[in-house]
A = this chain, B = another copy of it.
Amino acid sequence: MRLSRYFLPILRETPKEAEIVSHRLMLRAGLVRQQAAGIYSWLPLGQRVLSRIERIVREEQDRAGAVEILMPTIQPADLWRESGRYDDYGKEMLRIVDRHERDMLYGPTNEEMVTEIFRSYVSSYKALPLNLYHIQWKFRDEVRPRFGVMRGREFLMKDAYSFDIDEAAARISYNKMFVAYLRTFARMGLTAIPMRAETGPIGGDLSHEFLVLAETGESGVYCHKDVLDQPVPGEGFDYSGDLDAAIAPWTAYYAATEDVHDQERFEREVPEDKRLHTRGIEVGQVFYFGTKYSAPMKATVAGPDGVERPVHSGSYGVGVSRLAGAIIEASHDDDGIIWPDSVAPFAVGLINLKPVDEATSAAAEGIYERLTKAGIDVLYDDVDNRAGAKFATMDLIGLPWQVIVGPKGIASGEVEIKRRATGERETLTIDAAINRLVAG
């Protein structure tokens, strides 16, 4: 993509309204624009990040055997009356009346709707286990939205819903999502710690939150330091294999959010030099809630014995849009964002230091074409601007690699490449630079 044909509105000044670094950087780097309190447009660079996060989430859900569907954003209120949550949910639910005076709502979550889908089609245990997920916009009318996309009102969430014949089977489904989440967050360069958590309005008796440790997090967390270094299941992980063994290293240590923290147990189980008390950003949560929705909504299946029973379910959320902010909280420096390769909007920022110089531009164009042909996403700064501004912008938007092409280097056939994360720079021939970038 040529910068001259792109839309990258960089802000030179730090926006006053932004309280945390990810919000500041997302506004400054032209990733998002606020349209109303807690409601954002994703500008081109932000849209690319969001789609990359979404892709990783989708791939890991698919690997874990979940099946993608897509439920609508607007739901009929009657569904929520069946489960009894319509009145419970309070003012966070955006309630809507349509032209025929029917009560509707903008879905804050989808337990009711997916249970309605399930009961409409599934009647036998033979169709189980089943896990349906979707990636769709949700709305929660937060009284005080803040921190940019970290606590917005309209937000993109992946939510999966599992259906099983009994609690034992449901716990296997729960554990599959647990493993998928470990992999999902690790692929984004995050260390997300699973912690026992309250179940809140979703209900149920078993839940883990996945938290990225950050001083700006909304939740206080207490954990054993060693939980930070546990192994993440690999790409070839067998989801029909031993799930407990994959999860055990993560659940063996004390780790809890402040809501459920037990100071006495913490002090008993964790040696003093291993006690960590910090804050975290919730990026995912898994719940097992048994028959909380299936019983009132009559989502039953016949077992092998022919007896009808309500299915056992769980739900599993990932905050897709929130992750864009969480990744920045975890990966930035004074100059700007440092995108992990897996979610970077472009892999390479190619800087033409002197577009008016023919030899420089010919070289830069050639590099742009060759990298693009090799399947690498390049943002090519072909705009006539001073070098300092170009460098500052590239550092701010945080692409993993920079290639700097200037008249002096080109005279001797050389360009400079810079790794954003380390600041390491190297002068290479054009061929060597391209080979390095193609190799990753």
Contact = CB atoms under 8 A, between A and B. Distances in A.
Contact of A41 (B43, B47, B72, B98): B72
A96 B99 contact: no
Given A33-B117, A76-B36, A98 B104 contact: no
Majority DSSP secondary structure for residues of A touching B: mixed
B98 A96 contact: no
Contact of A40 (B46, B72, B127): B72
Contact of A113 (B41, B74, B134): B41
A122 B8 CA distance: 10
Give this chain's copy count: 2
A116 B34 CA distance: 11
A7 B134 CA distance: 14
B106 A67 contact: no
B69 A117 contact: no
Nearest to A92: B99
Given A7-B130, A41-B117, A96-B94, A137 B68 contact: no
Contact of A70 (B42, B98, B120): B42
Contact of A74 (B9, B36, B127): B36
A213 to B, nearest CB: 29
Nearest to A79: B35
Nearest to A104: B36
A6 B42 contact: no
Nearest to A132: B7
A382 to B, nearest CB: 13
A94 B104 CA distance: 11
Nearest to A1: B67
A44 B73 contact: no
A74 B44 contact: no
A355 to B, nearest CB: 13
Contacts of A67: 5-7, 44
Interface in A28-78: 30, 33, 35-37, 39-44, 46-48, 50, 65, 67-76
Interface in A75-124: 75-76, 79, 91-92, 94, 96, 98-100, 102, 104, 106, 113, 116-117, 120-122
Given A7-B67, A68-B44, A141 B99 contact: yes
Nearest to A321: B70
A287 B244 CA distance: 58
A40 B139 CA distance: 18
A35 B65 contact: no
8 contacts: A35-B71, A42-B69, A42-B70, A43-B117, A44-B67, A44-B132, A48-B68, A106-B106
